[in-house]
Chains A and B, each alone.
Chain A
Amino acid sequence: MATVELKGISKVYDGGVKAVNDANIIIQDREFVVLVGPSGCGKTTTLRMIAGLEDITEGELTIDGKLVNDVPPKDRDIAMVFQNYALYPHMTVYDNMAFGLKIRKFPKAEIDNRVREAAKILDIGMLLERKPKALSGGQRQRVAVGRAIVRQPKVFLFDEPLSNLDAKLRVQMRAEISALHNRLQATMIYVTHDQVEAMTMGDKIVVMKDGFIQQIGDPLGLYNFPINRFVAGFIGSPPMNFMDVQIAEEGGTLFAVEKNFRVAVTGRNIPLVKPYIGKNIIFGIRPEDLTFSDREAPGKSMKITVEVVEPLGAEIHLYMNTGAHQLVARVPTDHVYKVGDVASFIPNMDKAIFFDAETEKALLP
Chain B
Amino acid sequence: MKHRAVKGRLLRLAGFFLPLAVLLVFLLFPFYWTFVTSVKPAAELYQARVTYWPAGFTWDSYRNLFGEFRFLKPMLSSLTVALSTTIVTLVVAVLAAYAFSRFEFKGKRIFMVLFLTNNMFPTVLLLIPLFTIMRRMGLLYTPSSLILAYTTFTIPFSIWLLSGYLNDLPSSLEEAAMVDGANRRQAFVKVILPVLVPGLVATGVYIFMQAWNEYTFAVMFTNERNRTIPVALKNLIGQLGVQWDLLTAGGIITIIPVCVMFFFAQKRLVEGLTAGAVKG
Contacts and interface: CB of A to CB of B under 8 A. Distances in A.
B183 A88 contact: no
Interface stretch (B88-96, B110-118, B172-180): B172-180
B9 interface: no
Contacts of B176: 80, 82, 86-88, 147
Interface residues of A, number: 34
A72 B173 CA distance: 16
B172 A89 contact: no
Contact of B194 (A14, A72, A90): A90
Contacts of A82: 172, 175-176
A131 B179 contact: no
Interface string A129-158: 001111101001000000100010000010
A326 interface: no
A134 B104 CA distance: 35
Given A82-B172, A90-B195, A14 B277 contact: no
A35 interface: no
A183 interface: no
Given A52-B179, A88-B176, 4 more contacts: A74-B180, A83-B172, A88-B277, A140-B279
Contacts of B178: 52-53, 72-74
Nearest to A137: B279
Given A53-B179, A99-B177, A86 B275 contact: no
A333 B197 CA distance: 60
A131 B279 contact: no
Interface in B234-280: 272, 274-280
12 contacts: A53-B175, A73-B178, A84-B170, A84-B277, A85-B278, A86-B173, A89-B277, A99-B190, A103-B180, A103-B186, A140-B279, A151-B181
A73 B179 contact: yes
A134 B180 CA distance: 23
A61 interface: no
A164 interface: yes
Contacts of B274: 89
A86 to B, nearest CB: 4
A164 B280 CA distance: 10
Contacts of B180: 74, 79, 99-100, 103, 147, 151
Nearest to A51: B179
B184 to A, nearest CB: 9
A104 interface: yes
A103 B182 contact: yes
A89 B278 CA distance: 8
A277 B176 CA distance: 57
A91 to B, nearest CB: 8
A78 interface: yes
A124 B181 CA distance: 23
Contacts of B104: 14
Given A72-B178, A99-B180, A103-B181, A84 B278 contact: yes
B168 to A, nearest CB: 12
B170 A86 contact: yes
B36 interface: no
A80 B272 CA distance: 26
The 3 A-B residue pairs whose C-beta atoms are closest, nearest first, are A133-B276, A100-B180, A132-B276
A267 B197 CA distance: 70
B277 A86 contact: yes
A132 B194 CA distance: 14
With a 10 A CB-CB cut-off, give which of B177, B182, B191, B277 has the most chain A CB atoms.
Answer: B277
A14 B105 CA distance: 11
B277 A132 contact: yes
A365 to B, nearest CB: 44
Contacts of B186: 103
A323 B104 CA distance: 54
Contacts of A83: 172
Contact of B272 (A133, A134, A135): A133
Nearest to A81: B176
Contacts of A147: 176, 180
Interface in A56-107: 72-74, 78-80, 82-90, 99-100, 103-104
B276 A135 contact: yes
Contacts of B183: 72, 74
A99 B195 CA distance: 15
Given A80-B179, A103-B180, A104-B181, A131 B276 contact: yes
Contacts of A164: 279
B271 to A, nearest CB: 10
